[in-house]
């Protein structure tokens, strides 16, 4: 019981610091996810009709995914010019989001029904118009599902970035482990978990808000996928 | 940074740290598999199967809990050392295995199950001779995911005193020594990529054998 009280006290006594950490965590994720979407969605569009190129970039993505996040951080900070900096953290997160976003963009763009594309062409649309007005809107639910997977992963991997100089919610766990302060560890673990769940929920909500009513019924649910 | 020093570090500490790392990974995976498979199967049977979608989304969400949080929480619970690390790693690894087991059995064609029942197979026979063989490729994919996660999370296990390759990386960061960081990172990456490729190969063979 006293333990529970200590946890609670730590939380209430440090609200200022904790909200600062939370903001830092959020900033890191927002920067990384914005860059990732720009980069990997464009790359996905670029390779959409080139199976060979798509296979090799997806292969690279899954190779990166296999590397432990601590190892990626370690390799990045050893590169002169990067070091213990926010750049290293952001680059790592962007690299990790390659597979979930790129794969979903590529797969969903290629899954669009051929007869729909045929119809669009028959209406006199250019390739560019077909991409922007037909393929991308139809692919949006699956693309967002990939973004969701990537974001959730980033929150977790971002926690570890405290070891390369970030000051986010992971600090509570890092300091708690270093000083054997269980109250800090417990507060940190609970907060990052809540943070992940809230962000997951938020993007799920965004998904349902952003997707056109007409295609919601059958596309939305097959999200996630195997990874 | 000295490449020579990098090799010296790998030579002197590499083998024992890799051994410890693999020990953590395989013991944890063993526990994860023997716990996750029965749980996964149980979830697809009545009365649990009515809640199957909720259970799946719970497993998906739980997977999102940062590995650092899972590892760290075992320090107040069990103290430091190899035992709490294996506990944490096992729990983290059983999520993808359980999820894939549930998803694989749930995703089977109902017609196939109907046909098996029509041939007079008992429930147990349907499970052992139809459902599990057909679900095997996806279950193996879950084990592959779990293995990769565990190799990564095991680097963090150093923080609760379990040793492994994380020691080189975290010591390197503390001492500001790129050689240490790089030695640990490269070895951890090599282990992860090797295991991933091997399991991918295995998974494709399983898929061919059971026809996926």
Angle formed at CA B24 by CA B21 and CA B26, multiple of 5 degrees? 105
A87 lies in a domain? yes
Indicate the pLDDT class of residue A227, thresholds 50, 70 and 90.
Answer: very low
pLDDT tens-digit series, residues A25-80 = 999 999 999 999 999 999 999 998 889 999 999 999 988 988 888 888 888 988 88
CB contact under 8 A, B184 and A71: yes
Cis status, amide bond into B47, omega within 30 of 0? yes
Q: Say if B56 is an interface residue toward chain A (CB within 8 Å).
A: no
Closest residue in A to B159 (Cα) is: A177
Phi, psi dihedral angles at A50 (to 5 degrees): -125, 90
Measured between CA atoms, how close is A46 to chain B, in angstroms?
27
A227 lies in a domain? no
The mean per-residue pLDDT over the stretch B51-76 comes to: 87
Looking at this predicted complex, what is its ipTM? Answer: 0.83
Q: What is the pTM of this model?
A: 0.87
Q: How far is CA B149 from CA A48, B7, B89, B91, B189, in A?
A: 29, 27, 9, 11, 12
- pLDDT for B117 equals 87
- pLDDT for A223 equals 39
Measured between CA atoms, how close is A129 to chain B, in angstroms?
36
What is the number of other CB atoms lying within 10 angstroms of the CB of residue A127? 12
The mean per-residue pLDDT over the stretch B10-27 comes to: 90
Is residue B66 left, alpha or beta, with left meaning phi > 0 and alpha meaning psi from -120 to 50? beta
pLDDT at residue B118 tops 80:
yes
The mean per-residue pLDDT over the stretch A79-95 comes to: 88
Token readout for A42 is: 């464009």
Q: Say if B198 is an interface residue toward chain A (CB within 8 Å).
A: no
Q: Say if B1 is an interface residue toward chain A (CB within 8 Å).
A: yes
d(CA B184, CA B157): 14
Question: What Rg, from alpha-carbon coordinates, does chain B have?
Answer: 20
> Domain residues for B166?
3-210
- pLDDT for A216 equals 61
Q: Which residues of A touch B152 (CB under 8 A)?
A: 67-71
pLDDT tens-digit series, residues A193-210 = 999 999 988 988 888 887
Indicate the pLDDT class of residue B156, thresholds 50, 70 and 90.
Answer: very high
Cβ-based contacts under 8 A for chains A and B = 129
The mean per-residue pLDDT over the stretch A98-102 comes to: 93
The mean per-residue pLDDT over the stretch B89-102 comes to: 92
- pLDDT for B24 equals 94
What is the number of other CB atoms lying within 10 angstroms of the CB of residue B116? 18
Nearest CB neighbour to B181, from listed A78, A159, A189: A78
Which CATH number is A77's domain given? 1.10.3720.10
- pLDDT for A80 equals 82
> Domain residues for A217?
2-222
How many domains, chain B?
1
Closest residue in B to A181 (Cα) is: B76
Indicate the pLDDT class of residue B161, thresholds 50, 70 and 90.
Answer: confident
Which CATH number is B11's domain given? 1.10.3720.10
How many domains, chain A?
1
The mean per-residue pLDDT over the stretch B108-118 comes to: 88
pLDDT at residue A220 tops 80:
no
Measured between CA atoms, how close is B50 to chain A, in angstroms?
18
CB contact under 8 A, A159 and B69: yes
CA dihedral sign, ordered B207, A153, A38, A218: positive
The mean per-residue pLDDT over the stretch A132-148 comes to: 89
């Amino acid at each position: 019981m006293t333990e529970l009280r200590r946890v609670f006290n730590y939380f209430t006594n440090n609200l200022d610091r904790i909200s600062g950490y939370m903001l830092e965590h959020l900033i890191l994720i927002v920067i990384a996810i914005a860059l990732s979407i720009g980069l990997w969605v464009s790359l996905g569009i670029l390779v959409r009709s080139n199976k060979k190129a798509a296979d090799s970039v997806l292969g690279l993505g899954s190779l990166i995914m296999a590397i432990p996040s601590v190892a990626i951080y370690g390799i990045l900070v050893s590169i002169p010019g990067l070091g213990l900096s926010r750049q290293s953290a952001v680059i790592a997160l962007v690299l990790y989001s390659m597979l979930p976003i790129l794969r979903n963009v590529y797969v969903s763009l290629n899954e669009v029904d051929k007869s729909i594309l045929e119809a669009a062409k028959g209406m006199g649309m250019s390739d560019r118009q077909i991409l922007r007005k037909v393929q991308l809107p139809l692919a949006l639910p699956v693309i967002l599902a990939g973004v969701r997977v990537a974001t959730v992963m980033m929150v977790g991997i971002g926690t570890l970035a405290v070891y390369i100089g970030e000051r986010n919610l992971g600090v509570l766990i890092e300091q708690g482990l270093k000083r054997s302060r269980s109250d800090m560890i417990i507060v940190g673990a609970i907060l990052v978990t809540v943070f992940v769940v809230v962000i997951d929920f938020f993007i799920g909500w965004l998904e349902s808000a952003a997707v056109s009513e007409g295609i919601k019924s059958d596309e939305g649910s097959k999200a996630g996928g195997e990874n | 940074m000295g490449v020579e020093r990098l090799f010296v570090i790998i030579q002197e500490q590499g083998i024992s740290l890799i051994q410890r790392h693999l020990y953590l990974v395989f013991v944890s995976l063993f526990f994860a598999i023997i716990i996750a498979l029965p749980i996964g199967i149980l979830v697809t049977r009545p009365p649990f199967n009515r809640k199957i979608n909720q259970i799946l989304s719970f497993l998906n969400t739980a997977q999102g809990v940062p590995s650092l949080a899972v590892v760290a929480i075992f320090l107040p619970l069990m103290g430091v050392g190899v035992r709490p690390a294996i506990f944490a790693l096992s729990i983290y690894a059983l999520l993808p295995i359980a999820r894939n087991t549930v998803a694989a059995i749930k995703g089977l064609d109902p017609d196939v199950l109907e046909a098996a029942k029509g041939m007079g197979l008992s429930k147990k026979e349907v499970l052992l001779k139809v459902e599990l063989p057909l679900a095997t490729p996806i279950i193996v994919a879950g084990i592959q995911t779990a293995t990769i996660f565990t190799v990564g999370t095991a680097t963090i296990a150093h923080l609760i005193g379990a040793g492994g390759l994380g020691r080189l990386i975290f010591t390197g960061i503390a001492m500001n020594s790129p050689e240490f960081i790089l030695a640990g990172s490269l070895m951890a990456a090599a282990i992860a990529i090797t295991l991933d490729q091997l399991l991918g190969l295995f998974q494709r063979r399983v898929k061919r054998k059971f026809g996926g």
